[in-house]
């Protein structure tokens, strides 16, 4: 089981209309560029277990945790490092019960500090807030406020992830406000994942 890092780029896969080889090559490039966490997210799954196993093998070789989005069963079957849960993706208690003791469990908190506090108290490894900017992958998600990050930094002792339309150009204020991780999909995988990842990771140096 890979340990969850302290800060950096949290890259979320973009497998739609791509071959398994293309996705694995992109993830490898993102890790080489500096991504410290990979989340496997696929809303139109076909070969989800096959791809997840390939991604886990890659992540293991670089000592980078692989998080499965919204699927505790898949995470448990392949022995992934953890799972990420949105509002409608199941209960934190179920994930704690079905995954290993050291599993990484992240919870989406949108702009809701009380949800984050509850998640922390119930055993979450990290919480994610967002979206902070217009987002192609989550166009209808409610906006989060940068002040929520400031409050989270004061009130939480677990890592904080910022997500939603985040690019290297607009993300510095989020880090300054308290984000330990920047999560990105298009910003990493739309073009040249290795260089894109490097551009994000420079913000943490």
155-205, pLDDT tens digit by residue? 999 999 999 999 999 999 999 999 999 999 999 999 999 999 999 999 998
**pLDDT given for residue 135 in this prediction:** 79
Residue 87 scores a pLDDT above 90: no
Selecting among 54, 108, 171, 198, the annotated active-site residue is 108
Selecting among 45, 60, 138, 153, the annotated active-site residue is 138
**pLDDT given for residue 115 in this prediction:** 96
Active site residue 198: no
Cβ(203)–Cβ(172) below 8 Å: yes
**pLDDT given for residue 26 in this prediction:** 98
**pLDDT given for residue 84 in this prediction:** 97
**pLDDT given for residue 2 in this prediction:** 80
Question: Which pTM does this prediction carry?
Answer: 0.96
Q: Which helix (H) or strand (E) segment is 69 a member of?
A: strand 66-69
Active site residue 18: no
**pLDDT given for residue 89 in this prediction:** 67
Task: Out of 26-30, 69-73, 77-81, 139-143, pick the least confident.
Answer: 139-143
Question: What tokens were used for 42?
Answer: 């696929």
Active site residue 60: no
Which class is 8-204 in CATH?
alpha beta
Find the mean pLDDT for residues 68-89.
93
User: How many C-beta atoms lie closer than 10 Å to residue 43's C-beta?
Assistant: 9
> Where do the domains of the chain lie?
8-204
**pLDDT given for residue 139 in this prediction:** 73
Residue 1 scores a pLDDT above 70: no
CB burial string 120-147: b at 16+ within 10 A, e below: beeebbbbbbbbbbebebbeebeebeee
- How do residues 2-58 score in pLDDT, each as one tens digit? 889 999 999 999 998 899 999 999 999 999 999 999 999 987 766 689 999 999 999
Question: What tokens were used for 186?
Answer: 């298009």
């Amino acid at each position: 089981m890979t340990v969850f890092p302290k800060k950096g780029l949290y890259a979320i896969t973009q497998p739609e209309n791509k071959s398994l080889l293309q996705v694995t090559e992109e993830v490898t490039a993102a890790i080489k560029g500096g991504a410290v966490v990979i989340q496997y997210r696929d809303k139109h799954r076909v070969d989800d277990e096959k791809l997840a196993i390939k991604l886990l093998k890659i992540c293991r070789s670089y000592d980078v945790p692989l998080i499965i989005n919204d699927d505790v069963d898949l995470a448990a079957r392949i022995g992934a490092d953890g799972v990420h849960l949105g509002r409608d993706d199941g209960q934190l208690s179920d994930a704690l019960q079905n995954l290993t003791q050291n599993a990484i469990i992240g919870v989406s908190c949108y702009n809701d500090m009380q949800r984050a506090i509850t998640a922390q108290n119930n055993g979450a490894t990290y919480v994610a807030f967002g979206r902070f900017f217009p987002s192609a992958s989550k166009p209808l998600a409610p906006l989060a406020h940068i002040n929520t990050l400031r409050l989270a930094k004061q009130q939480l002792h677990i890592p904080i992830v910022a997500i939603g339309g985040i690019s290297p150009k607009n993300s510095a204020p989020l880090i300054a406000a308290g984000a330990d991780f920047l999560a990105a999909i298009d910003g990493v995988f739309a073009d040249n994942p290795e260089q894109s990842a490097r551009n994000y990771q420079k913000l943490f140096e």
